[in-house]
C-alpha cells in the first residue's frame, strides 16, 4: 500500500497544478505529460496514476471553492483534508496573482466558438455524482471570496454566444428532422426579455413547446451550474417540456448535453444565498 502523501509532496503538486492552470486560463498551451515527468522526479516514487488522481482531487477542491480548474482533470472528491488546507494556504500566498488570472478568464470578451459540427456537438450528460464523501472538516475560510465559476456564467458575452449557438442548433435539428415549419417558429426569448425564466422557445418534433435554458462555460462538462429561484420554479412548472442545454468547452470544440425535466430531476442543488425577512 502506498504511503500517504507528505506535506512537501502535496505542496509540490499544488504548485505544479496552479502553474498549468494559470497558463490554461490565459490561453497558453500546456503539456501535462512534461509537467508530470518533471514533477515525478521530486516525489516519493509516485506512479503516473497516483499523480493523475491527486490532480483530480485538486480539481475537486477548486470546484468546491467556486474556482476555475484544469479542464482535463475530472474532479475526484475522496481527498485527504491536508490537500484542502494546503490549497487554501497557496491561495492565500498567491491571492493577487491568481485573482488577476481568474478575472481575465471570467470577464474576457475574446470569446471564440469554432469547429462547429452539429452532427457531433451533442454529448452525453456527466454521470451524476454523489459527493457526500467530500471531507467535512473544521471550518476553513477561503481567502478568495468571489465564486469565479458563477462569475463566468454571468459573463454576458459568453451567455449570448452560447444562446446563439443553441438557437442555430435547434433550427438545424428541426430542419434535419424535416420540420422546417417548426424551425421557423423558434424564438430567442432572452434576446428581448432578460427577465424571462428560460432562454429559447423551440419546438418538439410533435409541435409542442420546448423551453430551453442555456448554461455556457469554457470549462468541462462537470462544471457546476447556477440558477435562480425563478428558473427553478419554472422548471417545476414546465417539467415535461423544460430542457437544460449545458454548453461546455466553448472556446475549444464546443459541445453540449441536454437534460429534460426539472432541476430536481437531473442535478443536486444546494442553497448558496438566503433572504432574511423581519
Instruction: Concatenate the DSSP letters of all residues of 102-158 into one string.
Output: HHHHHH----------TTT-B-PPPPPP--TTS---S----S--S-HHHHHHT-HHH
Does any domain span residue 249? yes
Residues 100 and 175 in one domain: no
* Residue 13, pLDDT above cutoff 90: yes
- 153 in Cβ contact with 215 (< 8 Å): yes
**Residue 85 belongs to a domain:** yes
Locate 15 and state its grid cell: 504548485
In whole angstroms, how large is the CA radius of gyration of the chain? 21
Q: Cell numbers at residue 155, please? A: 459573463
17 assigned to some structural domain: yes
| Helix-helix angle 32-40:7-25, to 10 degrees | 160
Residue 127 has pLDDT above 90, yes or no: no
| 260/177 same-domain check | yes
* Phi, psi (degrees; rounded to nearest 5) at 113: -120, 135
High-pLDDT (> 90) share of the chain, %: 80
Rounded average pLDDT over 34-53: 95
Q: What total number of domains does the chain contain? A: 2
Spatial CB neighbours of 73, under 8 Å, sequence gap ≥ 6:
52, 55, 56, 58, 59
Phi/psi zone of residue 207: left (φ > 0), alpha (ψ -120 to 50 degrees), beta?
left
Given 79, 107, 135, which residue is the final one in a domain? Answer: 107
pLDDT in tens, 139-152: 568 999 999 999 99
Regarding whether 79 and 174 lie in a shared domain, the answer is no
Which residues form the domain of 208?
153-266
> Do 16 and 73 fall into the same domain?
yes
Q: Are residues 162 and 258 in the same domain?
A: yes
How many Å apart are CA 202 and CA 171, to the nearest integer?
9
> In the predicted model, what is the mean pLDDT of the chain?
92
CB 223 within 8 A of CB 248: yes
**Per-residue model confidence (pLDDT) at position 134:** 46
Confidence band of 132 (pLDDT split at 50, 70, 90): very low
pLDDT surpasses 50 at 210 = yes
CA-closest candidate to residue 123, choices 245, 240, 214, 209: 245
The CA distance from 213 to 266, in Å, is 14
Residue 1, pLDDT score: 60
The pLDDT of residue 139 is: 56
The answer to whether residue 121 is domain-embedded is no
pLDDT band at 271 (very low <50, low <70, confident <90, very high): confident
User: pLDDT at residue 15 above 70?
Assistant: yes
Of the three residues 107, 122, 139, the one that is the final residue of a domain is 107
- Same structural domain, 188 and 250: yes
Residue 259 has a pLDDT of: 97
CA neighbor of 11 nearest in space, from 135, 100, 94, 104: 94
- pLDDT at 114 (0 to 100): 64
Is 264 a residue whose pLDDT tops 90? yes
pLDDT band at 133 (very low <50, low <70, confident <90, very high): very low
For residue 83, tell me if it sits in a domain.
yes
Query: Is residue 186 predicted with pLDDT exceeding 70?
Result: yes
Within a domain: 129: no
Check residue 129 and give its pLDDT.
Answer: 67
Spatial CA neighbour of 256 closest among 147, 169, 145, 173: 169
Task: Specify whether 1 is located in the same domain as 102.
Answer: yes
Strand partners, 244: 213, 259
**Exposure string for 120-139, b = 16+ CB within 10 A, e = fewer:** ebebeebeebeeeebbeeee
Q: Is the pLDDT of residue 136 over 70?
A: no
Is 99 within a domain?
A: yes
- Sign of the C-alpha dihedral, residues 111, 116, 122, 126? negative
In a shared domain, residues 169 and 227: yes
Q: Are residues 159 and 258 in the same domain?
A: yes
pLDDT at position 163 is 97
Q: Which range is least confidently modeled, 63-67, 127-131, 139-143?
A: 127-131
- Do 180 and 253 have their domain in common? yes
Residue 183 lies in a domain: yes
Give the end of a domain, one of 86, 107, 128.
107
CA distance 112 to 251: 5
pTM summary value: 0.91
Amino acid at each position: 500500500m502506498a504511503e500517504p502523501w507528505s506535506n512537501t509532496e502535496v505542496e509540490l503538486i499544488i504548485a505544479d497544478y496552479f502553474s498549468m492552470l494559470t497558463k490554461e486560463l490565459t490561453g497558453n498551451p500546456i503539456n501535462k505529460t512534461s509537467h508530470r515527468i518533471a514533477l515525478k522526479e521530486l516525489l516519493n516514487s509516485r506512479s503516473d496514476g497516483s499523480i493523475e488522481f491527486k490532480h483530480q482531487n485538486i480539481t475537486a477542491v477548486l470546484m468546491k471553492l467556486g474556482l476555475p480548474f484544469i479542464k482535463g482533470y475530472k474532479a475526484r472528491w475522496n481527498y485527504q483534508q491536508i490537500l484542502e488546507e494546503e490549497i487554501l494556504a497557496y491561495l492565500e500566498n498567491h491571492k493577487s496573482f491568481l485573482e488577476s488570472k481568474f478575472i481575465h478568464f471570467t470577464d474576457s470578451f475574446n470569446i471564440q466558438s469554432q469547429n462547429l459540427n452539429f452532427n457531433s456537438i451533442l454529448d452525453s450528460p456527466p454521470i451524476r455524482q454523489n459527493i457526500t464523501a467530500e471531507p467535512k472538516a473544521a471550518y476553513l475560510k477561503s481567502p478568495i471570496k468571489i465564486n469565479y465559476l458563477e462569475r463566468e456564467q454571468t459573463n454576458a458575452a459568453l451567455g449570448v454566444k452560447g444562446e446563439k449557438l443553441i438557437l442555430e442548433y435547434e433550427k438545424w435539428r428541426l430542419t434535419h428532422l424535416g420540420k422546417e415549419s417548426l424551425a421557423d417558429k423558434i424564438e430567442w426569448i432572452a434576446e428581448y426579455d432578460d427577465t424571462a425564466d428560460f432562454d429559447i422557445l423551440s419546438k418538439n418534433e410533435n409541435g409542442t413547446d420546448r423551453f430551453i435554458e442555456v448554461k455556457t462555460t469554457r470549462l468541462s462538462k462537470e462544471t457546476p451550474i447556477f440558477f435562480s429561484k425563478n428558473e427553478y420554479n419554472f422548471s417545476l412548472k414546465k417539467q415535461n417540456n423544460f430542457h437544460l442545454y449545458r454548453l461546455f468547452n466553448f472556446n475549444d470544440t464546443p459541445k453540449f448535453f441536454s437534460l429534460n425535466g426539472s432541476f430536481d430531476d437531473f442535478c443536486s442543488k444546494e442553497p448558496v444565498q438566503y433572504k432574511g425577512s423581519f
